[in-house]
Amino acid sequence: MAPPLAVAVVRYLQEVLGIEALGLRPWARAVELPYFLGDAFQFCELELFKQPIVLAVGRGQPRHALGDVRAWLGTVKALAGQPVIYVTDALASYERRRLIEHKAAFIVPGNQLYLPDLGLDLREYFRQPAPVATEAPLSPAAQAMLIAALLRQPWQPDWQSSQVAVALGYTPMTWSRAVKELIAAGLAVAHTVGRSRWLRMELAPEQVWQRAQPALRSPVRRTVWVDAQSTALHQPSRLAGLSALAHFSMLTPPKWPVYALTVADWKAAKDAGARELPEPHAGAQAWQLWNYSPALQPQATTVDPLSLTLSLQDHADERIQLALDELKRQLPW
């Protein structure tokens, strides 16, 4: 029996576009796929414009990360040798944008349709998943505190936010505002232990990270080019950008090394004689000026993997997106 969402796809195509989809049936070759794909999707097949199409119908909760979905659809398409459409009951606006950027076909019955292989793009309104968190962006301080808490090992759902704030150099006022933001965004709840105020994450770290996505932004304010030989005393130590991603993956390192530093550190470097180059030349480096500390993991030689992901997630290069998927598999959760 076809899943209800697949039946809804057929009805949606007929009602909205007047397209008749024929022969909805289970996809016979689904048995050739890895077991985990069968856990993530139900597979059906139909004919559209006399073209056989595979529908990969998401099984609902828990919703999988978009990077995983794209990679899995690629696996299915390689086996099928025909278009594969991701079918789900809801997509957030940022998820829709990412799928369209990567030309990944999808249908949300009754709401959205994007079939680049067939030249179709219909966007009506966006049915959001049940609202559990605000999409208002977090402040840099709140984002940094959240990431620092998510990356703590071993993982503990309860954490003393004041200690994290002190470690990051935030004032009590900044800490207090950041805590309010995290609570208002549905990412943590407050409770008291003795005289201390603690926060608790009621979901697993991966789920908190996914829930926070609409409120997170790239930490990079801007990038400057500098001559490495003239800044030896103020050389930043944290690899960032494509240099950091190459450290975590098989990606080739960039021609010019990329480092991260705070705006305050950049000011100190300029005061010591560092000058911004109008364009890169031999011996140049790219310095990213961050809105918060790039040292959320004190012992690491690179910026943290979550901030790195945010800094590169909108990059159009497919090689970079594949490297980010590789990075995701290395996260501590």
Closest CA to 26 of 11, 13, 42: 42
Give the pLDDT of the chain (333 residues) as one tens digit per residue.
Answer: 678 889 988 888 887 777 777 889 999 999 999 888 988 899 999 998 788 999 999 986 656 778 888 889 989 999 999 999 999 988 877 788 888 888 889 998 878 888 887 766 555 433 444 444 445 899 999 999 999 999 998 888 999 999 999 999 999 999 999 999 999 999 999 988 777 789 999 899 999 998 999 999 999 999 999 988 766 667 888 999 999 999 999 999 999 999 999 999 999 998 888 889 988 888 899 999 999 999 999 999 999 999 999 999 988 788 998 999 999 999 988
3-state secondary structure of 45: strand
Residue 128: count other Cβ atoms within 10 Å of its Cβ.
Answer: 14
Q: Is residue 54 within 8 Å of residue 27, measured between CB atoms?
A: yes
Domain 4-123 fold is Trna Endonuclease; Chain: A, domain 1 (3.40.1350)
Write down the architecture of domain 140-203 according to CATH.
Orthogonal Bundle (1.10)
Q: Domain residues of the chain, as ranges? A: 4-123, 140-203, 220-328
Query: What CA–CA distances, in Å, run from 141 to 9, 103, 138, 191, 216?
Result: 43, 34, 8, 20, 11
**Short-list 132, 136, 139, CA closest to 215:** 136
Indicate whether this model's pTM tops 0.75. Answer: no
